[in-house]
Structure 1
Amino acid sequence: MSTLFTPLQLGSVTIPNRLGMSALTRSRASKSIPTEVMKKYYEQRARGGAGLIVSEGVLITRQGTEYHDVPGIWNKTQVEGWKKITDAVHAAGSKIYAQVGRVPVVRILFQSLFILQLWHLGRANHPDAPEQIASGVPVYAPSAIAARGGKFKYLPGTPGYVTPTELPDPTVIIAQYKEAAINAKEAGFDGVELHGANGYLVHQFLDSTSNKRTDKWGGSVENRARFCLEILKELIDVWGPDVALKLSPAGGYGDVGMELQETLDTFGYLDPAFLDQEFDGRLLIIGYRILKFSLLASIIQGKKRATQHDVLASYSSFLPDTKIFLNAGVMPAEAEELVDSGKVAGVFNGLSWIAHPDMGKRIQTGKALDSNVDFKTLYGAPGVDPALGYVDYKEAVY
């Protein structure tokens, strides 16, 4: 596994290996504020060899959500909570060297890169969610089109998704993304990732099945991509090269997904447009191949939106100078092959990092990935010890 453990320059930071930990909603915040058990969770994975950690989806504004106890980053208390976590991650994942010179100093050579995923759910909210009620605004989306399906872990029964209110002025939300990016810098993150996937707000604007607007934010590919690109401009204004974009062109989740040619046209336009904005090929794009999970979710929810195609083969030609990380159950041997071939710069994994806080160290030392995820504790539950299934997996290789 030598190739997986070579350094890589991402934006302004060098990471020690090509193993990324996916953004994973785990519902361990308290009233949208990060907690001490969350600090331990991220610290364990940094100590366990994650070169790049993407935070769980973090809400940019008070709103309803599909999950209970998810964190936000719209106020100072949340920023302070995240600062404790970023400090712990950097301390756990850092390697130190002494610079030889007239005045010896100690500097960080490598550290686990920790980026914040900026999240807005759009029509995947519900008006009865406590935070949505507290926000005092409706459930917004590009158009007043309800997604099919929908489950809410904290609401009784199966109320399903509702018909949202068309967002009257998208620039208001764009400004909220920028404010969240500013807060992320204050909280000590190394960069931000725009969540443009999984049928949430940015993806809803990109997809013609959920975006039927007739103004400059809808209709043509260029107009549907505008919301995403305008947010990215604001994030880059704050962060420079340290901005990532998460995409899932295969669709399905959240009841989005277009016909194949329209999908190719949309994401084939979006990716180079993203890169053309004076990015010098320094930005990270997190790409997806077809996800078994996304396709399964589509079937379970009675939808057939997933657009099956090889995402890596379809879009990599548009991104010759871009650092592409692939996600979707990529195991070590395949990851080594993909990185060694130059097809991707690195890989992300989710479930293996949940079950193995020391996954990076295990792969590096040839130790088996021998634990399974307890799905009953994946999202925690009110009144249940948040450590269960979260920070209590065995840690063997440190």
Structure 2
Amino acid sequence: MPHATKSSLTSHLSVPLALGDLSMRNRNVMASLTRNRSVPTNVPNDLNLEYYVQRAKGGCGLILSEGALVVQQGSEYPHAPGIWNEEQARAWQKITDAVHEHGALMFCQLWHLGRVAHPDMPEQKAAGKPVPGPSAIKASGGKFRDLPGQPGHVVPTPVEDPWTIVEEFKNAAKMAQKAGFDGVELHSANGYLIHQFLDHTSNQRTDMWGGSIENRCRLGLECLKVLIEVWGPARVGIKVNPGAGCNDVGMPFPDTVRTFMHYLTQVSAMKPAYVQLVRYLRKMDVPVEGMDGVFRGVPHDVLRIYGPIIKPHPSALEEHDEATYRGPAMPGPEFDSKNLTPTRLFVNGDLTPEEADKLVAEGIVDAAVFGVPWIGNPDLQKRIERGVPLNRDIDPTTFYTVPEGKDLSFGYTTYPEAKGQLPN
């Protein structure tokens, strides 16, 4: 694809956007990107600070932090940061202060792994708790690189009282306030704990947290409620991935549509600042164990089917009767006086700047979320605005690990800006 020029591209991506009671300087959002650089473990460091500041200086409108764990867990990514205690909040504050100095907003993504942690990882051992899940159903796959033999996932221990999970998210939301973030995002995507409760292949409970669509949606909605209690709706977002596949989740198509139609209708009723919809991507999908060529995810047009729940648009309603899938809206607190704008719709998933600009121009979405382009282009928005070609030479082997003999900064803060092509 040829590189577009400044005159033909991104006039809409560069327009400011009211987000709750905040103002984004443009509609370019940096995705949450787990990079495994919070060494020695779970506390953000000076290298993380440099990384986020580079991207704030590069023109990002809203930075979504890498997933910040709400409790101590044994992740496949042993150096992921947390947001469950005061030490972590103080470390994050250095980052949020610096990001704000360079004109960007920053939300903290709140993350609970659920059944995709491992009991032999040092952080899980230090927590002194079993790996939790909705039910005693193991996720297939997994690759815990720091453990001998690189084992996969284990059978989780069913969460006895999911209200404890709600309280863990509430505590993390309070820590994020102390850390100076502008808001928080509930991670309810990609096969992590909230998504595990949503999906009936991983949630086979028979209590109020499983079985019916309403029950399976309960944990995500209750967590969203407490985030809104702490922050107000204008400072809370949520990430949702109906296409699934990641971490061994994915239901048949009719179940998927009914579940996420209900879930997003209830989410919308709470009037959060934004909903981030992740499009189905085959590269994020996983094959079903023992079935060649069969994948766990559900390929469908996520933006077209669910987008109108958040942001009604005539062209998006032509082929789907969403009303047949919707349940009654969940009554919620009267937050209208606090949320000064409608809920915004963000889209994520292999977007090009050209496609993103078109979606914004047509009123289908309000902002675009970019992941890999922000990894390899710390000045992504400046490049887009000025028609400077993006760096396409991005090494995926450095996304989560550092090659032997290389410094932690390699593939993290070492991608160059477009020197000599952009004004200071």
TM over 0.5: yes
In the alignment, is residue 12 of structure 1 matched against residue 2 of structure 2? Answer: no
Indicate the structure with greater strand content.
Answer: 1
Displacement after TM superposition at 1:293 (Å): 2.1
Displacement after TM superposition at 1:299 (Å): 6.9
SS at match of 1:376: helix
Displacement after TM superposition at 1:186 (Å): 0.5
Cα distance in 2, alignment partners of residues 375 and 264 from structure 1: 32
TM-score of the superposed pair, with normalisation by structure 1: 0.92
Q: What per-residue deviation string (whole Å, max 9, x for no partner) do you get for residues 295-353 of structure 1?
A: 3x447997621001000111122223531111111011111110000000111111110
Name the counterpart of 2:413: 391
Displacement after TM superposition at 1:373 (Å): 1.4
In the alignment, is residue 159 of structure 1 matched against residue 146 of structure 2? Answer: no
Cα distance in 2, alignment partners of residues 11 and 208 from structure 1: 33
Give the ranges of 4+ consecutive aligned residues of structure 1 lying more than 3 Å apart after TM superposition: 297-303, 380-384
Name the counterpart of 1:75: 85
Displacement after TM superposition at 1:80 (Å): 0.8
Name the counterpart of 1:216: 208
Q: CA RMSD in A?
A: 1.5
Q: Is the 8 A contact 1:63 1:132 kept in 2?
A: yes
Q: What per-residue deviation string (whole Å, max 9, x for no partner) do you get for residues 163-218 of structure 1?
A: 00000011111101000000001100000000100100000000000000000000
SS at match of 2:250: coil
In the alignment, is residue 23 of structure 1 matched against residue 32 of structure 2? Answer: yes
Name the counterpart of 1:63: 73
Cα distance in 1, alignment partners of residues 390 and 18 from structure 2: 28
Name the counterpart of 2:357: 336
Name the counterpart of 1:184: 176
Cα distance in 1, alignment partners of residues 392 and 197 from structure 2: 39
Cα distance in 2, alignment partners of residues 50 and 292 from structure 1: 27
In the alignment, is residue 244 of structure 1 matched against residue 244 of structure 2? Answer: no
Q: Is the 8 A contact 1:149 1:301 kept in 2?
A: no
Note closer, same or farther for the CA distance 1:271–1:152 as it changes in structure 2 (3 Å cut). Answer: same
SS at match of 1:14: strand
Query: Counterpart amino acid of 2:264?
Result: D
Cα distance in 2, alignment partners of residues 370 and 276 from structure 1: 41
Cα distance in 1, alignment partners of residues 359 and 288 from structure 2: 29
Name the counterpart of 1:126: 118
* Residue of structure 2 aligned with 1:272, choices 265, 290, 309: 265
In the alignment, is residue 175 of structure 1 matched against residue 184 of structure 2? Answer: no
Q: Is the 8 A contact 1:143 1:211 kept in 2?
A: yes
In the alignment, is residue 54 of structure 1 matched against residue 68 of structure 2? Answer: no
Displacement after TM superposition at 1:283 (Å): 1.9
Cα distance in 1, alignment partners of residues 379 and 148 from structure 2: 37
Cα distance in 2, alignment partners of residues 164 and 124 from structure 1: 8
Q: Is the 8 A contact 1:61 1:120 kept in 2?
A: yes
TM-score of the superposed pair, with normalisation by structure 2: 0.86
Matched length: 376
Q: Is the 8 A contact 1:72 1:78 kept in 2?
A: yes
SS at match of 1:56: coil
In the alignment, is residue 363 of structure 1 matched against residue 384 of structure 2? Answer: yes
Name the counterpart of 1:375: 396
Displacement after TM superposition at 1:292 (Å): 3.0
In the alignment, is residue 345 of structure 1 matched against residue 366 of structure 2? Answer: yes
Q: Is the 8 A contact 1:19 1:347 kept in 2?
A: yes
Q: Is the 8 A contact 2:78 2:123 kept in 1?
A: no
Note closer, same or farther for the CA distance 1:301–1:200 as it changes in structure 2 (3 Å cut). Answer: farther
In the alignment, is residue 283 of structure 1 matched against residue 273 of structure 2? Answer: yes
Cα distance in 2, alignment partners of residues 83 and 165 from structure 1: 34
Structure 2, unpaired ranges of 5+: 1-9, 312-341
Cα distance in 2, alignment partners of residues 267 and 9 from structure 1: 26
Q: Is the 8 A contact 1:332 1:363 kept in 2?
A: yes
Q: Is the 8 A contact 1:253 1:298 kept in 2?
A: no
